[in-house]
Amino acid sequence: MSRLDTFIRRLQAQRLCLDALADRLQGLPGPVLELGLGNGRTYDHLRERFPGRPIFVFDRQVAAHPDCIPPADQLRLGDFRETLPAYAAEGQPPAVLIHADIGSGDKAASMQLAADLAPSWARILAPGGFLASDQAVEHPLWTPVPLPPGVDAGRYHLYCREN
């Protein structure tokens, strides 16, 4: 399997997970959080699948396509380790979905980042809300959720905050 094959599978897995959660979260109010704007492709997909909800976007800087730049009041720029705790202290409504596509080429550093952010995510996530992450991350508040059909085990990770 080439890196092109792997990349396509990862994007398909991401999309399948987000689409499945969009269905499951209908009727549960609350904002969505997107960690990592990048070129804005996934943000654009979230806008389509979660219409009418605020989508708060976290990244170091804005480098997205001009059509995919969030409104300024929904952007939180800086290091995740600073912007997530600051957001958690803002008093926004609990989030129904946190999407964390935060992996870099360094697997150990990526897992450590997810572990460092987990306490903030736990503060932010609504009961019944979901965390979709490219990194496995444990926390007493959430439990793993089976992946949608077509997503290979380990390629993405879904967790639900039960209550």
- Kindly tell me which of 123 and 155 has the beta carbon lying closer to its own copies: 155
Distance CA 147, CA 97 (A): 15
Distance CA 47, CA 1 (A): 32
Beta bridge partners of 143: 160
Q: Which residues bind its own copies (CB under 8 A)?
A: 2-5, 7-8, 11-12, 14-15, 39-42, 44-45, 47-49, 65, 67-68, 105
- Kindly tell me which of 5 and 23 has the beta carbon lying closer to its own copies: 5
CA-closest candidate to residue 57, choices 76, 83, 84, 78: 76
- Kindly tell me which of 64 and 137 has the beta carbon lying closer to its own copies: 64
- Kindly tell me which of 15 and 76 has the beta carbon lying closer to its own copies: 15
Q: How far is the CB of 123 from its own copies (least distance, A)?
A: 28
CA-closest candidate to residue 129, choices 88, 99, 102: 99
Q: How far is the CB of 80 from its own copies (least distance, A)?
A: 21
Q: How far is the CB of 119 from its own copies (least distance, A)?
A: 29
Q: What angle do CA 16, 136, 91 make, to 5 degrees?
A: 85
Q: How far is the CB of 69 from its own copies (least distance, A)?
A: 12
Distance CA 108, CA 111 (A): 5
